[in-house]
Structure 1
Amino acid sequence: MSESLSGTYVPIPLKGKLALITGATGGIGKATARLLATRGVHLALHYFTQHDVATALVEELRASGVRVAAFKADLADFDAVRALHAKVVEELGNPDILYNNAAKAGTMLGIKAKIEDASLDEFERCWRANTGGPFLLTQLCIPHMEKQGYGRVVFCSSIAAATGGVLGPHYSSSKSALHGLMHWIARQYSKKGITCNAVAPALIANTVMFKDPTPAHRDLVPVGRFGQPEEVAQIVELLITNSYMTDKIVTCDGGMVPSSLA
């Protein structure tokens, strides 16, 4: 193979980059923010309802020596998403890294639910927050990434996207839609220096989505324990540091699904 085809690996340092993390006050969002702060990444932390948690996290992470600020927005409100992006750019600059982590569970219907239990209004609200909001925010962030020849986009999915899960069709379908979106973005922008991937967690303790674990839940996990937010954060770190890894869905589920999701 010629030198022109083989190329040369040049690591891209994270220090000094700006990451926008949605849902930063949740367990996975906080763990990711803390990990990236240790790498010298400046942080725009999105939240919706937990103002006190967001304020405390900002103060904690400023001690790491990075620039950090919190921004409130309802991701199901598309005008609010546009305002969120504009405010981040105004205060901190254009994001180099976008972690679409926030999600709305909606009504948790459970494994015995019937399809008529999920109303069309519930379906639409969940899709606006989990799919429409992340799509719009990504659409707003990518032009700058393309212009500078560098960008990282990561979606937080779920194994419910492939298995259906237990919350309901509104939630699982909103997450599976992220996979198609991720595949399209990765193919369109890979030659522009932008990678796009997804992490698909399951049964992660110390999160709002999984706040009442039981022994029966634990028995579903081959490794015999629940995952921790910090373990999901480590995968996100991998996805934003590895410039050769794109168009991938990486599960973080203790072995529940035997391979990456399609």
Structure 2
Amino acid sequence: MSALRGKLALITGCTGGIGKATAITFAKQGLNIAVHYNSASSAAEELVHDLTSLGVKAAAFQADMGSYDAVRRMHQEVVAKLGNPDVLFNNAGMAGKFIGKTGEIQDVDMEMFEKTWKVNCGSSYLLTQLCLPYMESQKFGRIVFCSSVAAGTGGVIGPHYASSKSALHGLVHWIAQRYARDGITCNAVAPALIIDTGMMANPGPENLKLIPVGRFGKPDEIASVVEMLVGNSYMTNKIIVVDGGWTASAF
């Protein structure tokens, strides 16, 4: 990670559990941080304060990830204030309607389906598209998507969420192969049931039965995997599953 000192990381959904933990982990390694948030302005400013106290540059940038225009504006503001991102962690996401493993597909209408896909996949694609030209020009870049174990198992939320996360895997595989010779790596981390996040603030006890290690995951445990993916220049085109043993292998 010492080679990344002084480089800029843009983290979407940065005020949530995984995003915040990753920002702090990166800052401790000397990376400057562009903190994206949607509505949690106070939390974003508090995080910026904590990051700058670690001796790095940091600033907060607002955008609704359900609006492509807002994503474009946010990227422009990041570049104007901090420069072009060298590292992009596409972490922002939404669960949408929880219908569980036994819900009816009719319970998720097309409006909810498309909104979930736009936030979880479309805006991450757009932001990657915006960041890649600079990475390509400098022959260096790190792109990480935050997927979910739901992409391989169907998960516990619903088909809209699971399918939006599995779509990220296709992006990883295409981007990784296309830009590998340009010094750009592209990977995804696929967590399962991480507490202390907005999405899984109060997971039901029945979900614990899915996890062989007998407990839910923590944001720091996902941040450590993202740190590894960003620090490793030889690992690309991979989906790293962090699920307490729920799945037997990668998917």
> Same fold judged by TM-score > 0.5?
yes
Q: Distance in 1 between matches of 2:105 and 2:196?
A: 29
Matches within 5 A, 1:160-239: 160-239=150-229
Q: Secondary structure at the match of 1:69?
A: strand
Residue number in structure 2 paired with 1:75: 65
1:245 to 235, 242, 245: 235
Deviations 1:90-112 (A, max 9, x none): 00000000000000111111122
Residue number in structure 1 paired with 2:136: 146
Q: Which runs of 4+ in 1 moved over 6 A?
A: none
Q: Distance in 2 between matches of 1:122 and 1:163?
A: 21
Q: Secondary structure at the match of 2:4?
A: coil
Residue number in structure 2 paired with 1:6: none
Q: Distance in 2 between matches of 1:36 and 1:143?
A: 23
Moved more, 202-211 or 133-142: 202-211
Q: Distance in 2 between matches of 1:125 and 1:131?
A: 10
Deviations 1:137-190 (A, max 9, x none): 000000000000000000000010111112111111100000001100001000
Deviations 1:106-150 (A, max 9, x none): 111112211111100111111111111000000000000000000
Moved more, 105-114 or 226-235: 105-114
Equivalent pairs: percent with the same residue? 56
Paired letter, 2:151: A
Deviations 1:33-57 (A, max 9, x none): 0000000000001000111111111
> How many equivalent residue pairs?
251
Instruction: Give the Å deviation of 1:213.
Output: 2.6
Q: Distance in 2 between matches of 1:54 and 1:211?
A: 19
Does 1:128 pair with 2:118?
yes
1:18 to 8, 11, 15: 8
Q: Secondary structure at the match of 1:79?
A: helix
Q: Distance in 1 between matches of 2:135 and 2:163?
A: 28
Does 1:109 pair with 2:99?
yes
Paired letter, 1:176: S
Matches within 5 A, 1:35-46: 35-46=25-36
Q: Distance in 2 between matches of 1:259 and 1:112?
A: 24
Moved more, 89-98 or 123-132: 123-132
TM-score, normalization: structure 1? 0.94
Q: Does the aligned pair in 1 maintain the 2:240–2:250 contact within 8 Å?
A: yes
Q: Secondary structure at the match of 1:13?
A: helix
Q: Secondary structure at the match of 2:249?
A: coil
Q: Distance in 2 between matches of 1:222 and 1:72?
A: 38
Paired letter, 1:257: T
Moved more, 209-218 or 220-229: 209-218
Does 1:157 pair with 2:174?
no
Does 1:33 pair with 2:23?
yes
Instruction: Give the Å deviation of 1:258.
Output: 1.2
Q: What runs of 5+ residues in structure 2 fail to find an aligned partner?
A: none
Across the aligned residues of Structure 1 and Structure 2, the Cα RMSD in angstroms comes to 1.0
Paired letter, 1:30: K
Q: Secondary structure at the match of 1:44?
A: strand
